[in-house]
């Protein structure tokens, strides 16, 4: 019966088009993701693709290993040497690019230094150029100092409770140092672009998913459906199973294809590096590796998709139409970004389902929730909340559809 349900859905031209569009967008996203990793060669020319990635990996992996004080001093020294070179001092951009080409290998470590020695809400690309060896020695302490300064600043002092402040500081201190570093651009690019393809998958899947329960009414086949022996029990369950199968099958197919293509080309090196070794993850209080972040992104994306699309099924079962249900993902994914400027809503926005679809960014946000004296980040809350809500929606969905009256 599930097979027939799936066949019913994908026999519709509109749904076939949605799948083809998803395949096209997947290809485009892969192309953009791979293209986002650039390498600047000795001539100052930018390139991307398999060859460029290989050369970038070689350059960066020359700096692979623990980021100790010695390594940082070496970076400082190398950076100063390049800054003194003709290419760097030239007024010609192409010459400057040649200088940058020499810094590429340690550019991630350079970024970490810039972050560590500039105020929390700022970023000074040239800060590393003025660092001294004495300052370098305080590299890891500096991360906590910058955070603490910010938490005590006017901007943040009333924003978080004492427990919340202690929670973040403790998490910062718990980060195992010295950090291990190696080339991890594959994971970083994946984390940056994965939300795009996950959101596109949810938006396009809403069309076939909304049809599962509305289809009977659109085809005017509901009278026969509900007058059959299994029409009000097993057949309704089959629709739910079909929905879960379609969501699960298509989501994981898309994600696995995206993972294989992106990580296959950009590489899986750096899986065990902490996300704090990257520009985006430096401030995160989630002490996880890139591999763990990958599982959070794909797992969170699945749970978020499952919730949003279960809601789509629920609404289509309730309204017997696809018009309103297909707009639900648009509302859930895009309205929060319009409301993000309202400080009153910031706490609520941090645990909306769209956060599950962009876990790479969620782990970098300072969304905290306090229950009594216990403080939680948004990630564990949404990872539990939405699967529970999805599970709660399914029996409701079954109930309302199996009790449908045909007037």
**Binding residues for other proteins (CB under 8 A):** 1, 4, 7-8, 11-12, 215-216, 219-235, 405-407
Consecutive H or E run containing 95: helix 93-103
Tell me the C-alpha distance between 16 and 2, whole Å.
18
Closest separation between CB of residue 344 and other proteins, Å? 43
| Rounded (5°) CA angle 258-261-264 | 130
Ordered alpha helix ranges (H), 281-326: 290-319
Closest separation between CB of residue 233 and other proteins, Å? 6
Cβ(127)–Cβ(295) below 8 Å: no
Tell me the C-alpha distance between 195 and 199, whole Å.
6
- Which residues face 374 on adjacent strands? 371
**For helices 13-36 and 185-218, angle between their N-to-C axes, nearest 10 degrees:** 170
Query: For residues 74 and 318, which CB has a smaller minimum distance to other proteins in the complex?
Result: 318
Query: For residues 231 and 387, which CB has a smaller minimum distance to other proteins in the complex?
Result: 231
- Which residues face 46 on adjacent strands? 40
Tell me the C-alpha distance between 31 and 24, whole Å.
11
Closest separation between CB of residue 15 and other proteins, Å? 10
Take residue 353 and report the two structure tokens written for it.
Answer: 């389902």
Closest separation between CB of residue 226 and other proteins, Å? 6
Closest separation between CB of residue 400 and other proteins, Å? 15
Query: For residues 211 and 270, which CB has a smaller minimum distance to other proteins in the complex?
Result: 211
Query: For residues 227 and 337, which CB has a smaller minimum distance to other proteins in the complex?
Result: 227
Closest separation between CB of residue 12 and other proteins, Å? 7
Closest separation between CB of residue 318 and other proteins, Å? 18
Query: For residues 152 and 223, which CB has a smaller minimum distance to other proteins in the complex?
Result: 223
Query: For residues 86 and 405, which CB has a smaller minimum distance to other proteins in the complex?
Result: 405
Residues 6+ apart with CB under 8 A from 264: none
Tell me the C-alpha distance between 346 and 274, whole Å.
27
Query: For residues 7 and 138, which CB has a smaller minimum distance to other proteins in the complex?
Result: 7
Tell me the C-alpha distance between 103 and 63, whole Å.
11
């Amino acid at each position: 019966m599930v097979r027939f349900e799936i066949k019913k859905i994908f026999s519709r031209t509109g749904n076939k088009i949605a799948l083809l569009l998803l395949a096209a967008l997947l290809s485009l996203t892969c192309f953009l993701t791979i293209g986002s990793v650039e390498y600047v060669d000795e001539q100052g020319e930018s390139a991307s693709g398999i060859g460029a990635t290989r050369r970038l990996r070689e350059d960066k992996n020359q700096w692979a290993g623990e980021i100790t004080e010695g390594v940082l001093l070496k970076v400082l020294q190398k950076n100063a040497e390049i800054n003194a070179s003709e290419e760097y001092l030239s007024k010609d951009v192409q010459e400057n690019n040649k200088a940058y080409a020499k810094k590429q290998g340690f550019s991630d470590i350079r970024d970490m230094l810039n972050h560590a020695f500039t105020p929390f809400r700022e970023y000074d690309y040239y800060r590393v150029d003025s660092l001294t060896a004495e300052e370098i020695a305080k590299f890891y302490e500096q991360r906590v100092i910058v955070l603490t300064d910010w938490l005590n600043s006017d901007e943040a002092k009333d924003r978080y409770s004492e427990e919340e402040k202690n929670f973040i500081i403790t998490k910062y201190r718990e980060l195992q140092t010295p950090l291990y570093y190696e080339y991890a651009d594959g994971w970083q690019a994946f984390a940056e672009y994965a939300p795009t393809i996950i959101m596109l998958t949810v938006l396009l899947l809403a069309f076939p998913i909304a049809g599962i329960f509305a289809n009977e009414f659109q085809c005017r086949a509901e009278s026969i459906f509900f007058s059959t022996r299994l029409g009000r029990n097993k057949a309704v369950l089959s629709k739910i199973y079909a929905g879960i199968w379609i969501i699960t099958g298509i989501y994981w197919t898309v994600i696995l294809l995206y993972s294989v293509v992106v990580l296959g080309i950009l590489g899986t090196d750096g899986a065990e590096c902490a996300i704090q070794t990257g520009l985006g993850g430096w401030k995160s209080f989630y002490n996880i590796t890139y591999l763990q972040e990958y599982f959070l992104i794909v797992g969170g994306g699945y749970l978020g998709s499952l919730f949003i699309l279960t809601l789509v099924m629920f609404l289509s079962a309730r309204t017997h139409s696809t018009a309103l249900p297909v707009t639900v993902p648009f509302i859930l994914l895009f309205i929060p970004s319009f409301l993000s400027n309202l400080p009153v809503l910031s706490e609520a926005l941090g645990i909306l389902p769209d956060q599950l679809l962009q876990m790479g960014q969620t782990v970098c946000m300072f969304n905290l929730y306090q229950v009594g004296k216990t403080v939680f980040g948004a990630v564990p809350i949404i990872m539990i909340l939405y699967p529970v809500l999805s599970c709660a929606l399914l029996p409701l969905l079954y109930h309302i559809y199996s009790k449908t009256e045909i007037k």
